[in-house]
Amino acid sequence: MTNVSELVTLLSQVERGYTKLLNRRFLKAGFNLSREQYELLRVLWQKDNVNQQFIAKALRKDKYNVTKLLNVLQKRGYVQRKASKEDKRNNFVVLTDMGKEAERELTGIVEQAHIDITFTLSTDEIKSVIWSLRKINTDE
């Protein structure tokens, strides 16, 4: 049981450290964004003009937390909400020009962070960790 406790502790520490690293790098590059906001933008870069439920499912977050993220991103000019023509109660989230233009630079920042944090690991070690984590990752 001790090994499982250590695993959970290390996973938590790695996740917090990764978030802190990205948040600092985004800020240093002039982007006032969090890792979670970046992840939401990434969903929209893959498929724009989607509803909030689609985003919540893609991020595995509840609608309340997605709403909070969207409010900030909208306030900062990265996204807009547009009412559906068929059903005014249903809003679609759309990237603004600013949101589209940020993709290349933000993706570059994240890719460089990935290189920096994995430089001591071999490709086989990375594959092994991914394989192990997928085995224990459940959808509840």
Q: Could you name the CATH architecture of 2-130?
A: Orthogonal Bundle (1.10)
Listed residue (41, 26, 23) closest to 77, CA to CA: 41
The verdict on pTM exceeding 0.85 is yes
Domain ranges of the chain: 2-130
Q: Tell me: the pLDDT tens digits for 70-127?
A: 999 999 999 999 987 777 777 899 999 999 999 999 999 999 999 998 888 899 999 9
The token pair at 14 is 């790695």
Q: Which one-letter amino acid corresponds to residue 91? A: N
